[in-house]
Amino acid sequence: MPIRAENKQRYPKDWKLRSRFIRFYRAKNKCEWCGAENYKPHPITGSKVILTTAHVYDHRPEAASLLNLAALCNRCHLNHDREKHQRNRQINRLRNAETAGQMSLFSLPGECAGWGLQNPKEEKKIGAGLLRLRSMSRAGGFY
């Protein structure tokens, strides 16, 4: 997963070193979850494996403890982040709708663009807003 420019300063200064250590030394060039080998065709998908370093438990870029990081193939990383990607898509849709002046359910704090919301109250608010958005969408009143 490429690091977004706006999140770059949130990663530790030695991120590249940590990432290399995880992928090449600890994981020995293999996905730590499925065993797929780096730069070789994936045994299931057949696409070329490029190992990436994933945040496993805590998705915040600052949470770069070696216990929270894993060397993952494209497939495992994508599956692991699926929920996060779905959620970001929903938030972006909501943001775009708000920008276009179509609706205003609540205001989105800046931190919500990433996975790690800093404030549980805001997370609850966003969750409620997304549920409302989803039900509006199902009812055909939106999109």
Applying CB under 5 A, the residues found at the interface with Zn ion are 31, 33-34, 36, 73, 76
Q: How far is the CB of 79 from Zn ion (least distance, A)?
A: 8
User: Which of residues 34 and 97 has its CB atom nearest to Zn ion in the complex?
Assistant: 34
| Residue number with CB closer to Zn ion (31 or 117) | 31
Closest CB 113 distance from Zn ion, rounded Å:
27
Quick one: how many helices (H) and strands (E) in the chain?
Answer: 3, 2
Longest Cα pair distance anywhere in the chain, in angstroms? 53
Q: Which is nearer to Zn ion, 12 or 35 (CB)?
A: 35
Show the tokens assigned to 5: 């420019």
Q: Which amino acid is at 112?
A: C
Closest CB 12 distance from Zn ion, rounded Å: 24
C-beta closer to Zn ion: residue 76 or 94: 76
**How many angstroms separate the CA atoms of 39 and 96, rounded?**
38
Tokens 């993952």, residue located: 72
Q: How far is the CB of 71 from Zn ion (least distance, A)?
A: 9
Burial (CB < 10 A; 0-12, 13-18, 19+), residue 94, is: buried
